[in-house]
Amino acid sequence: MLLLAHRGASADAPENTLEAFSEAARQGADGVELDAMVCGSGEVIVCHDERLERLARLPWEVRTTPWWKLQKADVGSPLGFAPARIPLLEEVLESLPPQFIVNIELKCERFDDDGLARKVARLVRDLDMGERVVISSFNPLCLFRLLDAAPELRRGYLIDPDRRWGVQAYAVSPLVSSHSVHPYHVDCTPERVATWRAAGLRVAAWTVDDAARASELERMGVSYLITNRPGAVREALRAAA
């Protein structure tokens, strides 16, 4: 089971920043999970929230704010860390260790994704990273657009625990997933994981910081464990082995 650092090692560094991804590498993660969205001037940035109240105590909407302005936001101090900035997806991908698996989540809840799927596909292709990138989304339309733009890239459907499970897991996921399915870890059972694996899909469970639960998921056959604490979870799994 590979450990992917959730928004980087976000328990120990400000989420979705270069600092968090560097810390993930220091802690021995196998890769990272990160969030990608399009900002007001068209660049693809790495950020989870559509508005910056939580991350920077600013009322800015990312979708309408240009990159030059977003660079001024401090997304570290409000979370209890040193000051940090929002990075571009391109600079994150270029900064990661060459062996890292990268799970890029396409963040868009609207019909129009402002070109997000196509821009991410182009960037992954340009950097020749297709063999180690998995692209996921809660929005199946983003994954359909990705299929159209770059059918060879690995796609994984994120299952929302607050929506109808059966429709997502057994109707939508087979249509848009080529590589993996990404359920909330509470929704993983041995039977469900076995069904997905029999269909040729890997399972990426999120977000797990508890060592006992991580061990259970490993025994089920989960392929990717998304965690805020990759170093601590790794040590706990080794101790339990």
Write the pLDDT tens digit of every residue in 5-28. 999 999 999 999 999 999 999 999
Closest CA to 53 of 80, 83, 73: 73
d(CA 83, CA 211) in angstroms, rounded, equals 30
Could you give the dihedral angle defined by the CA atoms of residues 115, 121, 126 and 130, in that order, rounded to the nearest 10 degrees? Answer: 170
Residue 134's pLDDT is: 98
Residue 136's pLDDT is: 98
Residue 241's pLDDT band (cuts 50, 70, 90): confident
Residue 166's pLDDT band (cuts 50, 70, 90): confident
Q: What average pLDDT does range 136-151 have in this prediction?
A: 97
Q: What average pLDDT does range 210-222 have in this prediction?
A: 96
211: which 2 tokens? 């060592």
Residue 141 has pLDDT above 90, yes or no: yes
Helices 140-149, 116-126: crossing angle, 10 deg rounding: 40
Residue 63's pLDDT band (cuts 50, 70, 90): very high
d(CA 204, CA 181) in angstroms, rounded, equals 6
219: which 2 tokens? 């025994």
Residue 108 has pLDDT above 80, yes or no: yes
11: which 2 tokens? 């328990």
Write the pLDDT tens digit of every residue in 172-206. 999 999 999 999 999 999 999 999 999 999 999 99
Residue 170's pLDDT band (cuts 50, 70, 90): confident
Closest CA to 7 of 210, 226, 231: 226
Number of domains making up the chain: 1
Closest CA to 103 of 209, 197, 190, 223: 223
Q: What average pLDDT does range 91-115 have in this prediction?
A: 96
Q: What average pLDDT does range 127-131 have in this prediction?
A: 97
Q: Who's near 99: CB < 8 A, 6+ residues apart? A: 132
Q: What average pLDDT does range 53-62 have in this prediction?
A: 98
Beta-bridge partner residues of 32: 5, 102
CATH assignment at residue 221:
3.20.20.190
d(CA 227, CA 3) in angstroms, rounded, equals 7
- Buried b / exposed e over 111-121, threshold 16 CB at 10 Å, is eebbebbebbb
What is the percent of the chain with per-residue pLDDT over 90, rounded to a whole number?
Answer: 94
Residue 240's pLDDT is: 80
d(CA 79, CA 70) in angstroms, rounded, equals 17
Please, are residues 22 and 80 in contact by the beta-carbon 8 Å criterion?
Answer: no
Closest CA to 50 of 42, 40, 41: 40
Range of the domain at 196: 5-9+14-240
Residue 146 has pLDDT above 80, yes or no: yes
Closest CA to 236 of 214, 216, 220: 214
Residue 148's pLDDT is: 97
Residue 107 has pLDDT above 80, yes or no: yes
How high does pLDDT run on average in the chain?
A: 97
